[in-house]
Structure 1
Amino acid sequence: MISFLKDVSREMRKVSWPTGNELTRYTVIVILTVLFVAIYFTVVDLGISQILELL
Structure 2
Amino acid sequence: MGDLYWVCPTCGEEASDEADRILHLRQTFYDLDHVREQELLYGNDIELFENQNLYS
| Structure whose residues are more often helix by fraction | 1
- TM-based fold match above 0.5: no
TM-score, normalised with respect to structure 1: 0.28
Q: Which of 1 and 2 has greater Rg? A: 1
| Structure whose residues are more often strand by fraction | 2
Structure with the bigger RCO (C-alpha within 8 Å, sep 6+) is 2
TM-score, normalised with respect to structure 2: 0.27
